């Protein structure tokens, strides 16, 4: 660069032989250089921002939970057995299962869904789980939405519900319970779930599901959500609060 400038200076000194012309030329030269650099920088920054957006979008897509495949296979096995014994009930459950599959495949890809759709998805999940086990489980599902519907990112709550069944109900031989409470008002959605578990069986280390949930909340509801997970004795409690 310096060499080029030096050569240019020598050449212009020869041509004009005057200082004024040379100064004008140098000023022009630096302005052009500056504009070029600014333009290049602007383009780079724009590309970085675009890349970042795309990254968070694909990350979000990647993080979107899919219902545990084992759940589907176990349900299919139960339906397989139920067809002979109680075909009416089997038909009912097949519809519930297909509703769930359709929802997690198609609605799960959307940016937002209606809270009421999300709730019926959770209800189907609970219904199907109830028929699985020989043991009796106490599941309570309370909804307080004042008939308001909200738009919300899909498949957030199912992660917490799935965990309650996986770490609680599945590992307990008896007296398992899962209590769910959903409240929606003033553009605020509260989701609370509580379940008991066997402390000797489950260490309750943070799994990939919760990690993904946290990351998704950060990407979509930055500084507009709180997620509190707490363990007391043999009871696990999760509270998720989202400001819409």
Partner 1 sequence: MISYLIIDDEHIAHDIIKGYCKMLPNLKFKADCYDAIEAIDYLNKHDVDLIFLDLNMPKLKGFEFLKTLASPPKVIVTTAYSEFAIEGYELNVVDYLLKPFSFERFLSAINKVTSSNSSKIKKENNVNLKSEEKYIFLKQNNSHIQVDLDSILFIEASGNYTKVMTIKEIITIREKISNTIQLLSETEFIQVHKSFAVAKKHINSIEGNRIYIENYIVPIGKLYKTNINQLFK
Site residues for partner 1 per CB under 8 A: 70, 73-74, 76-78, 80-82, 84-85, 131-135, 170-173, 198, 201
Closest CA to 182 of 241, 107, 130, 244: 241
Q: Which is nearer to partner 1, 127 or 198 (CB)?
A: 198
For residue 166, the minimal CB distance to partner 1 (Å) is 9
Q: Which is nearer to partner 1, 70 or 88 (CB)?
A: 70
Helix or strand or coil: residue 149? coil
Do 240 and 162 form a contact (C-beta atoms < 8 A)?
Answer: no
Q: Which is nearer to partner 1, 78 or 241 (CB)?
A: 78
For residue 174, the minimal CB distance to partner 1 (Å) is 9
Q: Which is nearer to partner 1, 88 or 223 (CB)?
A: 88
- At 136, which helix (H) or strand (E)? none
Question: What is the distance between the alpha carbons of residues 170 and 238, in angstroms, rounded to a whole number?
Answer: 18
- At 43, which helix (H) or strand (E)? helix 19-63
Question: What is the distance between the alpha carbons of residues 171 and 164, in angstroms, rounded to a whole number?
Answer: 10
DSSP structure class, residue 166: I
For residue 105, the minimal CB distance to partner 1 (Å) is 19
For residue 176, the minimal CB distance to partner 1 (Å) is 9
For residue 210, the minimal CB distance to partner 1 (Å) is 20
Q: Please state the three-class secondary structure of 176-199 as a single string.
A: EEEEEEEEEECCEEEEEEEEECCC
For residue 135, the minimal CB distance to partner 1 (Å) is 7
Question: What is the distance between the alpha carbons of residues 142 and 194, in angstroms, rounded to a whole number?
Answer: 12
Q: Which is nearer to partner 1, 167 or 225 (CB)?
A: 167
Q: Which is nearer to partner 1, 68 or 237 (CB)?
A: 68
């Amino acid at each position: 660069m310096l060499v080029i400038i030096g050569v240019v200076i020598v050449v212009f000194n020869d041509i004009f032989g005057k200082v004024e012309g040379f100064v004008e030329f140098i000023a022009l030269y630096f302005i052009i250089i500056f504009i070029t650099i600014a333009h290049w920088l602007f383009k780079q920054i724009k590309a970085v921002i675009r890349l970042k957006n795309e990254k968070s979008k694909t990350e979000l897509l990647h993080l979107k939970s899919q219902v545990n495949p084992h759940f589907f296979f176990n349900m299919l096995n139960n339906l397989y057995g139920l067809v002979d014994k109680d075909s009416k009930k089997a038909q009912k459950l097949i519809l519930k299962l297909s509703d769930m599959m359709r929802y997690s495949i198609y609605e799960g890809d959307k940016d937002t869904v209606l809270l009421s759709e999300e709730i019926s998805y959770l209800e189907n999940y609970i219904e199907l789980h109830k028929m699985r086990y020989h043991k009796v489980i106490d599941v309570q599902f309370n909804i307080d939405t004042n008939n308001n519907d909200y738009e919300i990112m899909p498949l957030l709550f199912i992660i917490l519900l799935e965990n309650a069944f996986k770490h609680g109900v599945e590992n307990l031989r008896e007296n398992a319970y899962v209590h769910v409470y959903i409240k929606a008002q003033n553009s605020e959605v509260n989701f609370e779930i509580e379940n008991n578990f066997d402390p000797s069986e489950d260490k309750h280390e943070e799994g990939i599901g919760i990690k993904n949930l946290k990351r998704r909340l950060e990407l979509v509801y930055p500084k507009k959500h709180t997620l509190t997970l707490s363990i007391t004795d043999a009871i696990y409690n999760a509270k998720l609060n989202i400001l819409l």
